[in-house]
Amino acid sequence: MDFSFLPDSIVNGVQSPKDWDSPYSFLAFVQYKNFSNKDVNDELKIYQSYINTWASYKKLKKSDENTLVRNAYINLLREITLNFSTEEEKRFILNADLNDDSDLDIVIPFFIQKLKQVCFYYRDKRKDVKDSIVKYNLKGSNFGVESIIKKIVYDYVKENLDTRGQYLSSFYENFNVSVFEKYSDSDVFYDKSENSDHTVTNKIDPNIFINIKQSIIDAVSAYPFYLKNSDSSYISNITYNPVLSGSELQYLKERDFVDYIQGSENDLKMNLFKSLYSKYTGTSYYYLSTNSENQSVSGVLFDAEKFDGQFLNKHFPTTILTQPLENLYTIYELGGFFVPQNQGILIYSTPKKSYTIDTSKIESDKIYVFPDPSKIGNTIYTSDQENENIPITYIINVDWNRTKISNGYRLNDVLSNNYNQLFYAYQSRQQNTRISTEGIAKVTDNVTFWKGDNDQIWAGSFDEDIFPIEKDKQALLLEEGTATDWYCDDTNNEFALYKKLNN
């Protein structure tokens, strides 16, 4: 008999078997054996065959082999008694002598029933493990959600309404659940200068990193100060600005500390913003600090942890509170091309970019905070002018994109190339192949019947598979006339006005 399902067993001829000293118990055996029969006796026969095979590998005598089998079954009965029996069943079994055949005849039906329960338990668990990959992959999918809703409805009907089954049979046959995904076209998620209905904007406080004392002073000053009379009444209409050093932690409330327990500077909640800023920004941040004598110091304020997930948070670490539900569209309303997995981010970049600090704009006693200028660049116009006073001058050298003096007619004009990437958020197939697959024919189509460096050598006979001339005439509208007007819409659909012109 094949026992390949047993790991590291002596019956499989392995070098370091786990059952060298004693054979696997029946409960360990059924954990590896796929119990598919309804009769547990079949499994016991297979287990006994394993015991006999194990004994032959150990070269035991026939009398020792019989003793081994008997002891294995007695140990099985004891294990079932200890681990799978109630207190009443244990009292019943303990009164029986397992070495007496007559007593065994009485308790054997009980053990058979328990063995069936154990075997079916491992069988069901094995099936659950086999199906777990599919089950967990379905979580969050449309089919998974539909299955959950159907199960909830079925269970409710079965428990509460199924007393008249003949009237509900048509319900079970016709009931179905359909789930449609909806997509939001809202842009309220990232880089917001102020709080909104769905987001919270965490304004960056640079003092948390470079001058914690000043942050404490700001936190204490945010609370109102009052003067009291001797009778504990308050004096109104008095403005008082106390002189603080940043060590007055006793004036802060319990809510300003972690776990609402007053402690030292390290226990302040404001320290948590250090990790929050890093988590919810898409670039590292720099600072430029000046004193009263206009002496400055600069450096990295903090580094971004998740550049890819928070790329759009260039200036404000914006966190999402709730999903906006006011502008949701199905894929049929939105268009399959415009679902999120088919969209990207269009980034304008340029080589040979640099920046300098404009010292004439630096003010004394001020801290300037700005995203990494070597990566983000001048983006003040995308963030409500928040950084318009940052003393940074960006220099972009565009000499590489100008025509040279060798072309006297276009000197210093912008270089143009028919194969350059267009200002679309995707690369079209036409740009990859350099062949028009639809629309009007173009002079840039890379199709020729000639070869050689100067296209002066005839390439040979026409191959309709390589040069489908008749098909291209129709697809490229070559016989419709002359295109006198042409334009593209926002989604790159091409439109042309054709006219029949005289030679």
Of 482, 314, 313, nearest in space to 390 by CA: 314
pLDDT at position 44: 72
b/e map 195-224, b = 16+ CB within 10 Å: eeebbebbebbbbbbeebebbbbebbeeee
C-alpha–C-alpha distance, residues 394 and 392, integer Å: 6
Q: Tell me: the pLDDT tens digits for 454-474?
A: 777 777 666 667 667 777 777
Cα angle: 59, vertex 64, 67; to 5 degrees? 140
pLDDT at position 268: 92
pLDDT at position 383: 43
Domain ranges of the chain: 10-138, 142-174, 199-396, 417-503
Does an H or E element contain 282, and which? none
Place of tokens 């003793």: 67
C-alpha–C-alpha distance, residues 71 and 78, integer Å: 10
* 232: helix, strand or coil: coil
Residue type present at position 223? Y
**How many C-beta neighbours within 10 Å does residue 12 have?**
14
C-alpha–C-alpha distance, residues 292 and 468, integer Å: 78
Structure tokens at 345: 């981010």
C-alpha–C-alpha distance, residues 80 and 117, integer Å: 11
Structure tokens at 45: 């026969």
Q: Tell me: the pLDDT tens digits for 97-144?
A: 767 777 777 777 777 777 777 777 777 776 777 667 777 777 778 888
pLDDT at position 300: 92
- pLDDT by residue for the chain (503 residues), tens only, comes to 667 677 777 777 777 777 777 777 776 776 666 655 556 667 777 777 777 777 777 777 777 777 777 777 777 777 777 777 777 777 777 777 767 777 777 777 777 777 777 777 777 776 777 667 777 777 778 888 888 888 888 888 877 766 655 566 677 777 888 888 888 877 778 888 888 888 898 888 899 999 899 999 989 888 877 666 666 666 665 666 778 888 889 889 999 999 888 888 899 999 999 999 999 988 899 999 888 887 888 899 999 987 877 888 888 888 888 888 888 888 888 888 888 888 877 777 777 788 888 888 888 888 888 888 888 776 554 444 455 578 888 888 888 878 877 766 777 788 776 666 666 656 677 777 767 766 666 666 666 667 777 777 777 666 667 667 777 777 777 778 888 888 888 777 888 888 887 75
C-alpha–C-alpha distance, residues 190 and 175, integer Å: 42
The set of residues, in sequence order, having a beta carbon less than 8 Å from that of 28 and lying 6+ positions away, is none
Longest dimension (CA), the chain: 116
DSSP calls for 449-485: SEETTTT-EE--S--TTT--HHHHHHHTTTTS-EEEE
b/e map 453-485, b = 16+ CB within 10 Å: eeeeeeeeeeeeeeeeeeebeeebbeeeeebee
C-alpha–C-alpha distance, residues 334 and 22, integer Å: 68
Q: What are phi and psi of 303, to 5 degrees?
A: -100, 145
Q: Tell me: the pLDDT tens digits for 258-272?
A: 988 888 889 999 999
Cα angle: 470, vertex 471, 472; to 5 degrees? 90
- Strand 494-499, strand 482-488: pairing: antiparallel
**How many C-beta neighbours within 10 Å does residue 116 have?**
16
Q: Tell me: the pLDDT tens digits for 156-180?
A: 887 776 665 556 667 777 788 888 8
pLDDT at position 419: 62
pTM strictly above 0.75: no
